[in-house]
Every structure is written in C-alpha cells, then in structure tokens.
C-alpha cells in the first residue's frame, strides 16, 4: 500500500489527484492538502472581473467531491518539508497547519510515500510597493474573490462615466518580473468591450502597461504564427487588435510602486515615469512560498528542494540567453535529491525565462517570467501521476515525459463576452519553449501547429472549455476522456 | 482608434454561421495540437 500526498488543489494538484484515484486501487491512499475549500477554474476569472459570470459558476467545494471519490482531504497549508523524516517520525513527512474549523491552527505531521508539490505560486503583491488588491484603485483577477472585487470597482466607475466622468483605465503587469500577461491581455479586451456595451467607451482612455519588450510576448518570447494565409508575429497580431480597439500601450515597463491612482514604473531606457489611472488591474509577480526543508538531523536542507520554486530535473546551470536550449527544461518534474518528490505545474523552478532577459540602464531586470499556467499545469500533473502509478506497479524508470520544449499549448484568450457579440483570440503554440535547432526558420516554433484566429468562434470555444473543464474537474462520467 | 480590421474581415469574424464552422475547425485543430502528444527533448536531440 502506498500513500500519495498532494499539496495544493488547483489545476495541477486536482488533475494529479483525480488521475491517481481513478487508476490506483483503493488500498492506496490519495490525500490532498490545500488551504482552499473550493476548486476554481481560474481562466474564467476574467468573466467574473467584468460581471458576466458569478463566482459560483466557476468554483465548487472540494470536500464533498473528494469524500465521494475516496480521496482524503485536509484543509490546511504546508509549513515545512522533512523528506528524510526525523528522530520521532522515521518516514518522510510534511508538517501542515489547519486553516479552518475546530482544528484551526493545529499542526500535524503527514507522512508520505510519494509527494506531489502542486502549491503553485505565491501571488507576491508585496514585491511591488502599494500593490494590494482593492487598495489605491488597483485590483487583480488572480482569484475569484479578487475578480469579484475588481468588478465592483469597475462597475462603480462605469456608473460614474454614465454621469459624464472621463476615466483612465490601466491594465497589465504590476512588477518588472511578472508573468501571466495572457490574463491581463484577456482582461483589457473584455473591459474595453464592456465599456462599449455600456456606451461609455468614448469617455475612457484604455492603456496596456507591461514588462514585455514587444506586444504579444506573453512570456514566451513572442511567436511567429500562421494567421489565415499569412505568417505574422504575435506582436503584429496584438498591435492590430489594440489599434483597432483604440488601446494604447506602454512596453518595457517595470512597475515598482503604486500610490492612490498612480503607477510608478521604470523603463528599459532607465527613466522613471508614472501613469495616473482611475481603475487598474495589475498582475503581481509570482514567487515561491518560502518553504523550508530539514533533514533527519533537523539541519536545513532547503537548497536541496527549493530555488524559490521546487527544484526538479531541469538544467539550472546559469548561461547566457544565446545558449539556452529546450534540453534545459524538465521532463519528469522529479526532485533530483529525493526521487519520491515531484513538482508539476507552476510549483517547479524553471531553469530560466523563455523571453529574452532585458535589463534597464539602471540595472533593473525588466522582462517576463516564464508562464506555466493552465494547460501545461494539467499535462505535467497527469504525467507525474502516471509515473507514480507505474512506480507503484513495479515499473523501473520514469517513462512519461513532457518537456515544455516538446509540448503544445492553446491560449484561448477571451476578447469580449457574448453569444453573438463576443470574440476570442485563439493562439496555439508548439512547442511552448522555442526549439531553435528543430525549427530554425520559424523562430523556434512549428508553423501550422502555431497559429492564430480572431473571432466569435474563439469566444464560443473558451465558453465550451469552461463547461468541459468544470465537468472534468467534478469527475463526472467519462471525465478522463477530456484531455488536459 | 485606427481601423485595422476591414469591414469584410470583421463580417467574417462575427458572422455566426461562418463562425460556427470555424468553431468546429478550431476545436479539432486545437485538439490535435494539445492532445497530439508530448515528450522529452533530451534523447531526441542529443
């Protein structure tokens, strides 16, 4: 009998738990530890942030589902890792702290045979002075509660605009090293469409601010893609959409301080500037959770497990951008020091960025961190689960592999909500990390598998994915037929 | 605001009948990209 402990119940943790439970017999225990009581389908937060969906449409409680499916669940957060056990507890364990109910505050040691760290990122608002969702007129859509809050503020501003107020709306990244530009891109297009729907578009100045060097970088160094009969850069595609929608942009901006209605930022030219706004949605930096790890003698071994995020089978040798390769990226997400620990999704430490790193004249690094959200999170979680199942069943070696350098991803970016008025920018990328050796003439991507489309079908597709993935997450009949 | 998308292109993008077929095409094409497999890179390229 084996015990598999999964830390986190986001896309990655939940996918791993669901596949493990489906494929392992009942003698094996699958235990999920998460501080959150709900599963949330994060990609639909955008629609909560414009008031077109309610939170309860994108989430459901985990405890009843896990009880029904025979998955153990503890609503707690992990505090420390003890991969060798210690004098009292001989087997590997993690220390957890309950966050709710009668057990709130209680500390417990949870032993494991296999550990999946799917804790995702810490939303590091504190890395930007004054950036705290709901204060200084700045908001976030990173969680459903943040998105709800953002909608209330935006709705209030729209009502004021209906009375004649002129407003400036700033959307983008809130730190020089933020990632997840795609979410901000979706949000700015949705907000712009909502302003038109409420007949207040003419009174608003809508501005994109980002740490990208070019539009459409998305933390993936941009992509060269097929668009109809043409081949164009993602920068050209996004520029076309922004100009058509009357959205202005500020690029190469490292936002470093937020005051009431003012965003201060540094440019790659080394200038310090500021932008005023009436409403802002800024994506924070993502960081690791600052976990500590200890060996059996209680010595600190954090550096064996973490480098911000969790260390896995990547090549972490520091090297210049010109020497980066797809081989640097992990394939199995297994920790090199402790083979029974894995970190899929956002929890693994990337070997480096994907976008070319850029430094301002003042020495500030201003460029996007690599994205690992959504689809890659699900795919890497499933392959980790499959490798653990194989190992439990006596197979030698890890046969399931999925490097971001040999994996496709689809970004179905909502560009406006509505069954007849909606729109979506659908972009697929293969591979996620460009392979310049395999595809030297197309900027590291395979054309045909890397393509873009704009139109109403994109909105329908995003909506269809919303319902399909919530169906899958609820583990309803034949859920496993829906790919990650 | 600069018009960057022509009226005919916009009609194509927003026409529900055309877009219905585009939806089917997109669904299949995206499925082929994302469910078309993934793997390692080290053995293949070394």
Q: Does residue A155 have a cis peptide bond before it, meaning omega lies within 30 degrees of 0?
A: no
What residues have CB less than 8 Å from A348, skipping those under 6 apart?
A309, A310, A311, A312, A314, A330, A333, A372, A380
Q: How far is A404 from chain B (nearest CA, A)?
A: 8
Q: Tell me the angle at which helices B16-34 and A456-473 cross, rounded to the nearest 10 degrees.
A: 50
Does B45 score more than 60 pLDDT?
no
**Are the C-beta atoms of residues A235 and A198 closer than 8 Å to each other?**
no
Return the pLDDT at A299: 96
Three-class DSSP labels, chain A: CCEEEEECCCHHHHHHHHHHHHHCCCCCEEEEECCCCEEECHHHHHHHCCCCCCHHHCEEEHHHHHHHCCCEEECEEEEEEECCCCCCCCCCEEEEEECCCCCCCCEEEEECCEEEECCCCEEEHHHCECCCCCECCEECCCCHHHHHHHHHHHHHHHHHHHCCCCEEEEEEECCCCCCCHHHHHHHHHHHHHHHHHCCCHHHEEEEEECCCCCCCCCCCCCCEEEECCEEEEHHHHHHHHHHHHCCEEECCEEEEEEECCEEEEEECCCCEEEEECCEEEEECEEECCCCEEECCCCCECHHHHEECEECCCCCCCCCCHHHCCHHHCCCCCECCCCCCEECCHHHECCCCCCCCCCECCCCCECCCCCCCCCHHHHHHHHHHHHHHHHHHCCCCCCCCCCCHHHCCEEEEEEEECCCCCCEEEEEEECCCCCCCCCCHHHCCCCECCEEEEEEHHHHHHHHHHHHHHHHHHCCCCCHHHCCC
Task: Point out the residue among A245, A331, A454 whose CB comes nearest to the CB of B13.
Answer: A454
Q: How far is A53 from chain B (nearest CA, A)?
A: 22
Average pLDDT over residues A397-412: 92
A454 interaction partners in chain B (CB closer than 8 Å):
13
Average pLDDT over residues A336-341: 97
Minimal Cα distance from A247: which residue of B?
B1
* Span A44-100, pLDDT tens digits: 999 999 999 999 999 999 999 999 999 999 999 999 999 999 999 989 999 999 999
Return the pLDDT at B37: 79
Return the pLDDT at B11: 93
Label residue B4 by pLDDT band (50, 70, 90).
confident
Label residue B46 by pLDDT band (50, 70, 90).
very low
More confident residue, A386 or A409: A386
Does A245 score more than 80 pLDDT?
yes
Read off the tokens for A467: 């319902």
Q: How far is B30 from chain A (nearest CA, A)?
A: 7
Minimal Cα distance from B23: which residue of A?
A457
B4 interaction partners in chain A (CB closer than 8 Å):
240-241, 243-244
Average pLDDT over residues A401-423: 93
**Are the C-beta atoms of residues A378 and A484 closer than 8 Å to each other?**
yes
B29 interaction partners in chain A (CB closer than 8 Å):
428, 451
A240 interaction partners in chain B (CB closer than 8 Å):
4-5
| Average predicted confidence (pLDDT) for chain A | 95
CATH architecture of A3-123+287-404: 3-Layer(bba) Sandwich (3.50)
Task: Test B23 with A406 for CB contact under 8 angstroms.
Answer: no
Return the pLDDT at B34: 79
B43 interaction partners in chain A (CB closer than 8 Å):
none
Minimal Cα distance from B46: which residue of A?
A327
Does A252 score more than 60 pLDDT?
yes
More confident residue, A247 or B1: A247
Domain boundaries, chain A: 3-123+287-404
Task: Test A401 with B14 for CB contact under 8 angstroms.
Answer: no
Label residue A106 by pLDDT band (50, 70, 90).
very high
* Span A44-59, pLDDT tens digits: 999 999 999 999 999 9
Average pLDDT over residues A250-272: 97
Task: Point out the residue among A326, A449, A456 whose CB comes nearest to the CB of B41.
Answer: A326
Give the dihedral sign, CA A438/A442/A209/A176.
positive
Return the pLDDT at B43: 66
Give the C-alpha separation, A252 to A208, whole Å.
11
Among B24, B33, B35, B43, the strongest candidate for a mutation testing the A interface, having the largest count of A CBs within 10 A, is B33
Share of chain A above pLDDT 90, in %: 95
Label residue A228 by pLDDT band (50, 70, 90).
confident
**Are the C-beta atoms of residues A136 and A260 closer than 8 Å to each other?**
yes
A420 interaction partners in chain B (CB closer than 8 Å):
14, 16
Give the C-alpha separation, A22 to A53, whole Å.
31
* Span A134-184, pLDDT tens digits: 999 999 999 999 999 999 999 999 999 999 999 999 999 999 999 889 999
Does A439 score more than 90 pLDDT?
yes
Among B26, B27, B37, the strongest candidate for a mutation testing the A interface, having the largest count of A CBs within 10 A, is B26
Return the pLDDT at B38: 87
Return the pLDDT at A434: 95
Give the C-alpha separation, A338 to A263, whole Å.
43
Does B8 score more than 80 pLDDT?
yes
Minimal Cα distance from A420: which residue of B?
B16
Q: Scanning the structure block, which residue is given the tokens 């006596």?
A: A394
Does B44 score more than 90 pLDDT?
no
């Amino acid at each position: 009998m084996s015990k598999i402990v999964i830390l986190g119940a986001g896309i990655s943790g939940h996918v791993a738990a669901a596949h493990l439970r489906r494929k392992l017999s009942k003698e094996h225990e699958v235990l999920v530890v998460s501080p959150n009581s709900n599963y949330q389908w994060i990609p639909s937060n955008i629609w909560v942030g414009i008031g077109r969906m309610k939170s309860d449409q994108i989430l459901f409680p985990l405890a009843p589902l896990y009880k029904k499916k025979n998955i153990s669940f503890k609503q707690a957060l992990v505090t420390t890792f003890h991969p060798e056990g210690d004098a009292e507890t001989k087997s590997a364990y993690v220390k957890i702290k309950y966050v709710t109910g009668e057990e709130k505050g209680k500390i417990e040691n949870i032993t494991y045979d296999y550990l999946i760290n799917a804790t995702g990122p810490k939303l590091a608002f504190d890395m930007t002075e004054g950036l705290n969702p709901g204060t200084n007129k700045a908001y976030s859509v990173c969680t459903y509660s943040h998105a709800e809050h953002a909608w209330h503020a935006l709705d209030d501003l729209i009502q004021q605009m209906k009375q004649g107020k002129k407003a400036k709306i700033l959307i983008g990244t809130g730190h020089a090293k933020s990632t997840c530009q795609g979410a901000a891109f979706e949000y700015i297009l949705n907000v712009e469409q909502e302003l038109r729907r409420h007949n207040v578009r003419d009174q608003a100045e809508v501005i994109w601010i980002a740490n990208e060097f070019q539009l459409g970088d998305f933390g993936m160094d941009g992509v060269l893609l097929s668009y109809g009969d043409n081949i164009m850069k993602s920068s050209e595609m996004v520029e076309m959409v922004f100009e058509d929608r009357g959205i202005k942009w500020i690029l190469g901006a490292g936002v470093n301080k937020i005051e009431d209605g003012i965003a201060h930022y540094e440019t790659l030219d080394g200038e310090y500037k500021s932008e005023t706004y009436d409403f802002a949605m800024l994506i924070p930096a993502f960081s690791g959770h600052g976990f500590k790890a200890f060996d059996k003698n209680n010595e600190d071994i954090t550096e064996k497990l973490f480098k911000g995020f969790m260390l896995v089978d990547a090549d972490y040798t520091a090297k210049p951008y010109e020497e980066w390769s797809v081989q640097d990226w992990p394939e199995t997400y297994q920790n090199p020091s402790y083979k029974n620990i894995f970190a899929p999704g956002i929890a693994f430490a990337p070997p480096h960025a994907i976008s070319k790193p850029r430094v301002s004249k003042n020495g500030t690094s201003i460029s996007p961190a690599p994205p690992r959200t959504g689809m890659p999170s699900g795919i890497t979680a499933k392959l980790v689960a499959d490798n653990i199942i194989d190992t439990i069943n006596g197979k030698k070696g890890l046969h399931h592999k999925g490097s971001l350098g040999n994996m496709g991803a689809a970004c179905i970016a909502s560009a406006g909500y509505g069954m007849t008025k909606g729109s979506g920018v659908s972009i697929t990328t293969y591979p996620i990390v460009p392979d310049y050796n395999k595809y030297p003439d197309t900027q590291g991507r395979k054309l045909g598998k890397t393509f873009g489309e704009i139109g109403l079908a994109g909105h329908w597709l995003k909506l269809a994915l919303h319902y399909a993935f919530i169906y899958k997450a609820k583990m309803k009949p034949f859920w496993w037929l829906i790919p990650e | 605001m600069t018009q960057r998308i022509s009226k005919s292109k916009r009609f194509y993008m927003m026409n529900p009948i055309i877009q219905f077929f585009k939806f089917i095409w997109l669904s299949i094409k995206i499925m082929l990209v994302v469910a078309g497999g993934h793997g390692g890179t080290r053995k293949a390229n070394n």
